[in-house]
A and B are shown apart, each in its own frame.
Chain A
Amino acid sequence: MKKNLLTGPLLFPVLFPVLFLFLGLFVIGMAGEAMAAEKEFMTADQFIALQEFKGAPIIKKGDPAHGRKIYAVFCTPCHGMQGDGKGQLSTLLDPKPRNHIDGKGTRPGDGMNDRTDDQLFAAITKGGQGIKKSVNMPAWGHVISEENRWNIVAYMRTIAVPAYVPK
């Protein structure tokens, strides 16, 4: 009886509108997908925002704003976008990447604020191997200019908590 109703008198008034509704939703869905694909994965502004420096300079040497630009690209995969040591690779590395925000350290004398500017520059330049630390920290002296390595140091000085006080 039901079958007869659907194929008979209800075919046009019920089934066709339902079919059109489904077809409509399908087309809208397809269009939605197509529109989703037609979107920049990341815009220039969004990329530039990742590189934006929001702090204030602390040491005289280097430009922390330029340092942030470099840090955002090369350092963040391990050290994290905010410098907390929780970059996407951090779970895969042993020992863990350094938390650059940790000014005080877990042991006396082991905080970021206990390092001199020259020590930070040496770690960036020579990598972990060069300063008898983890081999996972590359020697960036091969591919980052001296000026930009100092810019990174200048940036790192601005993110420590408690704030770094130049000595």
Chain B
Amino acid sequence: MRKCLSCLFSFLLVGFVSPAVSQSADPWIGYTASGYNGKIQAFGLPSLKLLKEIPAGIDLHGPVLSGAPKGNSNGIPDGKLLYAVDKATNKVVVVDLAAGKISKKMDLPDKFGPNSLALTPDGKALCVAGELSGQIAKMDTASGKVDVIKLPSKPASPVDAAITKDGKYCLVSDYTNSVILVVTLNPFAVDKTIPSGGDGPHGIVITPDNKFALITNKFSANLAFLDLVGMKIVKTVKTGAVPIHTVIDSKGQFAYQSAFLGNVVKKVDIAKQQVVDTFFVNSRPGHLGISPDDKFLVVLNKYSTGLFEEMKASVGEVGVVNPTNIQLIDLANGKTLTQKPVAGEPFGLIMVAASSIKGGGFGAGQDAVSKGRKLDLPEKQGVKLTYGPAKPHKAGVFDAAGGSEVYLNAFSHQFAPNEVYLFKGDTVKLILQNIDEKGNLIDNADVVHGFAINGYSDQTQVLLPRGVAATLEFKVDKSGTFDYYCSNWCGLAHMEMRGKFIVE
């Protein structure tokens, strides 16, 4: 019956919505930076036609646009530059939007592990949250010069960053210690450390009037109002189960917060500080976007369980990766306007007026994914990758001819072992197996773990659908301690799925 409904809706959408909203009529261009395929993607909105893909790295997060440090709630994009961070390679990627090309890549410190970034209103500096290293960086956008704050708490996980509209502070959510770090940009230093109003602060966004930072506390199911004058939490609003991110409309009237486990988006009246509506989505929302005219909400759903499964990509003929999807909700009535499958794990779709992009290098517009597609992973260099079915095997490091074999099990939500000790010069065969039979507290069958070692051997990133073993073979060529992490959102404790690759 559900399939019947899907068919009916698909028919209605294909039959009526698509022709009515052709690519040429799209008033907005939406940019995402995508995890696991490492691409910048440009979509026409509201048609959701893919206009452009720019291979830019391995595991991209962000993006932010010049002129609008954090989307439409904080200025109007000028259509000139896009910045994104690469969590796997510790780089900031800069895209010239008119040319539709990467203009430069700038280095963050080794092992930095960036998860998010924010841009000052004058466009001169970026504030970057280094989740894996527990550091925060300020980068000069012209010279690439970097200042770093190493947080005293060990561990610390700076997950999201937002800059106040006056450009004075960068607010960073430290997810592990449940605090908000108030960082002055000049001088670059932690000014205050404020309890976040709950556990696991994730998304952070500033209201357009610069009065509040809205904090999404993932494990306390709330939205916390941080008063930017008093610099303290003045109100927490109970929202949905496992909320991840929040966006605010251009007038600062409503905030919209995704609840991953609740499978909903909660609409919060900012003045009344209360939930006023609930939008049901499909399925497992993470990042959100909102059109600059406040007409529609963009929901980036992590999974497409029961939807678009014909668009799956095979993984070594033993597993499948379903597409993620983008769902557009009409904010006039809360109805779904359209929903389309996409490749990669897109982060933070930010919209800019199509008229302000001079050129853009756009194609005619096409569906983002199609039947029979190949898995969209960046090419490996110096690393041999093969896939096979997962087979039960004791996890751990074992001696092998010329080096070591490492059996590393991935499950919801950890790697076993999450410390791997090796010797420089060894050749390692890393057998990564997803041993999950079901997700943690969710019923989605298409949960896929990822794996990447930050800054190691050009790239080690793979995707691990349930029942799949991926084998990576490479030379252990750098000594030190490197973080490995799950590079594809796999559930409520995805951020904790991390380990140490220790080479002596």
Where the two chains meet, the residues of A that have a C-beta atom closer than 8 Å to any C-beta of B are: 29-30, 33-34, 37-48, 51, 69-70, 73-74, 77, 88-89, 92, 94, 127, 129-130, 135-145, 147
Which chain B positions have C-beta within 8 A of A145?
Answer: 153, 155, 176-178
Q: A37-B280, A94-B394, A143-B176 are in contact. Are A44 and B262 (CB under 8 A)?
A: yes
User: C-beta contact mask, B58-82 vs A, less than 8 Å → 1, else 0?
Assistant: 0000000000000000000000000
Q: Are the C-beta atoms of A142 and B263 separated by less than 8 Å? A: no
The 3 A-B residue pairs whose C-beta atoms are closest, nearest first, are A44-B221, A47-B241, A41-B263
Is B395 among interface residues, defined by CB-CB distance under 8 A?
yes
Q: How far is the CA of A42 from the CA of B176 in the complex (A)?
A: 24
Q: Are the C-beta atoms of A42 and B498 separated by less than 8 Å? A: no
Which chain A positions have C-beta within 8 A of B493?
Answer: 73-74
Where the two chains meet, the residues of B that have a C-beta atom closer than 8 Å to any C-beta of A are: 1-2, 4-5, 153, 155, 157, 176-178, 199, 219-222, 238-242, 259, 261-264, 278, 280, 282, 394-396, 409, 411-419, 435-438, 440-443, 492-493, 495-496, 498-500
Q: How far is the CA of A47 from the CA of B238 in the complex (A)?
A: 11
Q: How far is the CA of A74 from the CA of B418 in the complex (A)?
A: 14
Q: Is the interface of A mostly helix, strand, loop or mixed?
A: helix
- Report the minimal beta-carbon distance from B399 to chain A, rounded to whole angstroms: 16
Which chain B positions have C-beta within 8 A of A147?
Answer: 177
Which chain A positions have C-beta within 8 A of B5?
Answer: 30, 33-34
Q: Look across to chain A and name the residue whose beta carbon is closest to the beta carbon of B175.
A: A143
- Report the minimal beta-carbon distance from B46 to chain A, rounded to whole angstroms: 22
Q: Are the C-beta atoms of A142 and B155 separated by less than 8 Å? A: yes
Which chain A positions have C-beta within 8 A of B199?
Answer: 69-70
Contact partner of A89 (CB less than 8 A), chosen from B282, B412, B417, B495, is: B412
Q: Are the C-beta atoms of A138 and B415 separated by less than 8 Å? A: yes
Q: Are the C-beta atoms of B416 and A135 separated by less than 8 Å? A: yes
- Report the minimal beta-carbon distance from A152 to chain B, rounded to whole angstroms: 13
Which chain A positions have C-beta within 8 A of B239?
Answer: 44
Q: Is the interface of B mostly helix, strand, loop or mixed?
A: loop
Q: Are the C-beta atoms of B419 and A127 separated by less than 8 Å? A: yes
Contact partner of B499 (CB less than 8 A), chosen from A33, A40, A70, A138, is: A138
Contact partner of B155 (CB less than 8 A), chosen from A40, A41, A141, is: A141
Q: Are the C-beta atoms of A77 and B413 separated by less than 8 Å? A: yes
A-B contacts, 28 listed (Cβ < 8 Å): A39-B280, A41-B261, A41-B262, A41-B263, A41-B264, A41-B442, A41-B443, A42-B262, A44-B240, A44-B241, A46-B241, A47-B241, A47-B262, A51-B219, A73-B492, A74-B496, A135-B396, A136-B395, A136-B409, A138-B417, A140-B496, A141-B155, A142-B155, A143-B495, A144-B155, A144-B496, A145-B178, A147-B177
Q: How far is the CA of A41 from the CA of B263 in the complex (A)?
A: 6
Which chain A positions have C-beta within 8 A of B498?
Answer: 142-143
Q: How far is the CA of A145 from the CA of B412 in the complex (A)?
A: 20
Q: How far is the CA of A8 from the CA of B137 in the complex (A)?
A: 83
Q: Are the C-beta atoms of A38 and B499 separated by less than 8 Å? A: no
Q: A74-B493, A138-B414, A142-B498 are in contact. Are A29 and B241 (CB under 8 A)?
A: no
Q: Look across to chain B and name the residue whose beta carbon is closest to the beta carbon of A37.
A: B280
Which chain B positions have C-beta within 8 A of A142?
Answer: 155, 418, 498-500
Q: How far is the CA of A122 from the CA of B33 in the complex (A)?
A: 39
Q: Look across to chain A and name the residue whose beta carbon is closest to the beta carbon of B275.
A: A44
Q: How far is the CA of A44 from the CA of B261 in the complex (A)?
A: 9
Contact partner of B418 (CB less than 8 A), chosen from A33, A73, A89, A138, is: A138
Q: Are the C-beta atoms of A42 and B155 separated by less than 8 Å? A: no
Q: A38-B280, A41-B261, A142-B498 are in contact. Are A30 and B1 (CB under 8 A)?
A: yes
Besides A33-B2, A138-B415, 18 more A-B contacts (Cβ < 8 Å) are: A40-B241, A40-B264, A41-B261, A43-B240, A44-B240, A48-B221, A77-B413, A89-B436, A92-B435, A135-B396, A136-B409, A140-B496, A142-B498, A143-B157, A143-B498, A145-B153, A145-B155, A145-B178
